């Protein structure tokens, strides 16, 4: 059946979200991570809370230890972050309440006094290493993966590791006493990550920056089709027949039944609009499960 378009029950902390002056917003990684930039880009005056994993962010929201969380949901150069969609499916009380788009500008960081010629090893997450592949191929470095961009920088600082560098945001350098050996090492200039703001209920608009509220409304849906010929075709026809655009569509394993899938879509419409409401009603009649995972404004981009 369809879930509510806004979050479920209250229960975030001891007080409602409107009572908090500085909302607690969780992100995955260390201070200086791009996910923290997502927090700072989405909220006016947040208390950013660093957690080790994306699952930990979802758990903190569900348990009421934070008012919201920010997780990467799509990379312009790497596509959807599928693990996050799997967590959205599992934690069905957590909703997308906003989104923000953050430019990803990468830098090579190392201990003070180190030079490019002294670097032998470069650490970062796989996505950042891929985004800086052209720069990395210019020298015979050993390339090693880390769990987080800022975490790679912190590890080098903590260990005082000579001959090592991290790929991360340039703003990470002063946080951990490192220096920027090379700036803007990413390939191209249009590299961005779209971050979803998660919560169990709608949050006060005053908490958000203008960038999260400037665009038109969009809706994120997940549904499961019947295992019969043409079911997906008929589901998509619910939108096409009413001239509703799906700006993104992909499938993920259901995790409940082997070789069965659920479909995620971003719908460029407000579910309260008559045509959209009719499309959702038709989808409910065709699909075996429909859930609205979020209604929010499309993120503004520079």
Residue 10 within a domain: no
Q: Are 70 and 197 within one domain?
A: yes
Q: Select from 103, 113, 99 the least CA-distant residue to 171.
A: 103
CA-based angle 139:140:142, to the nearest 5?
120
Q: Are 37 and 145 within one domain?
A: no
CATH label of the domain that carries residue 125: 3.40.190.10
Q: Are 198 and 68 within one domain?
A: yes
pLDDT at 121: 97
Q: Are 29 and 95 within one domain?
A: yes
Residue 11 within a domain: no
CATH label of the domain that carries residue 260: 3.30.70.260
Q: Are 142 and 68 within one domain?
A: no
Whether residue 209 lies in the annotated active site: no
Residue 3 within a domain: no
Residues 26 and 61 sit within 8 Å (Cβ to Cβ): yes
pLDDT at 248: 93
Q: Are 170 and 240 within one domain?
A: no
Residue 265 within a domain: yes
Residue 6 within a domain: no
Residue 173 within a domain: yes
Q: Are 53 and 66 within one domain?
A: yes
Q: Are 89 and 132 within one domain?
A: no
3-class DSSP state of 149: helix
Specify the number of domains making up the chain.
3
Whether residue 193 lies in the annotated active site: yes
Q: Are 112 and 177 within one domain?
A: yes
pLDDT at 12: 38
End-to-end CA distance of the chain: 38
Q: Are 81 and 48 within one domain?
A: yes
Q: Are 76 and 200 within one domain?
A: yes
Residue 9 within a domain: no
Residue 117 within a domain: yes
Catalytic residue, candidates 149, 193, 212, 220: 193
Catalytic residue, candidates 58, 89, 135, 195: 195
Provide the domain limits for residue 118.
Answer: 107-182
Q: Mark the ranges of the chain whose per-residue pLDDT is less than 50.
A: 1-15
pLDDT at 228: 86
pLDDT at 22: 82
Cα 105 to chain center, whole Å? 17
Rounded to an integer, what distance in angstroms lies between the CA atom of residue 88 and that of residue 91? Answer: 5
Q: Are 61 and 117 within one domain?
A: no
């Amino acid at each position: 059946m369809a879930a509510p378009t806004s979050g479920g029950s209250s229960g975030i902390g001891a007080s409602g979200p409107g009572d908090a002056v500085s909302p607690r917003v969780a992100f995955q990684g260390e201070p200086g991570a791009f996910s923290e930039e997502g927090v700072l880009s989405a909220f006016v005056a947040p208390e950013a809370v660093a957690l080790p994993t994306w699952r930990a962010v979802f758990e903190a929201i569900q348990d009421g230890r934070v008012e919201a969380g920010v997780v990467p949901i799509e990379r312009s150069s790497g596509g959807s972050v599928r693990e996050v969609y799997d967590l959205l499916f599992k934690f069905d009380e957590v909703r997308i309440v906003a989104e923000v788009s953050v430019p990803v500008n990468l830098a090579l960081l190392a201990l003070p006094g180190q030079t490019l010629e002294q670097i032998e090893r470069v650490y970062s997450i796989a996505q950042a290493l891929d985004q800086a592949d052209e720069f990395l191929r210019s020298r015979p470095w050993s390339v090693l993966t880390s769990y987080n961009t800022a975490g790679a920088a912190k590890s080098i600082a903590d260990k005082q590791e000579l001959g090592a560098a991290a790929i991360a945001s340039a703003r990470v350098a002063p946080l951990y006493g490192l220096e920027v050996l090379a700036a803007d090492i990413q390939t191209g200039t249009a590299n961005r990550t779209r971050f979803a703001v998660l919560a169990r209920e709608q949050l006060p608009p005053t908490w958000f920056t203008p960038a999260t509220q400037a665009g038109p409304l969009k809706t994120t849906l997940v549904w499961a089709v019947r295992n019969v010929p043409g079911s997906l075709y008929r589901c998509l026809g619910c939108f096409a027949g009413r001239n509703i655009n799906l700006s993104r569509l992909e499938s993920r394993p259901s995790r409940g039944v082997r070789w069965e899938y659920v479909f995620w879509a971003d719908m460029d419409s407000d579910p309260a609009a008559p045509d959209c409401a009719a499309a959702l009603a038709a989808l409910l009649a065709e699909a075996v499960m429909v859930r609205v995972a979020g209604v929010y404004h499309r993120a503004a981009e520079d």
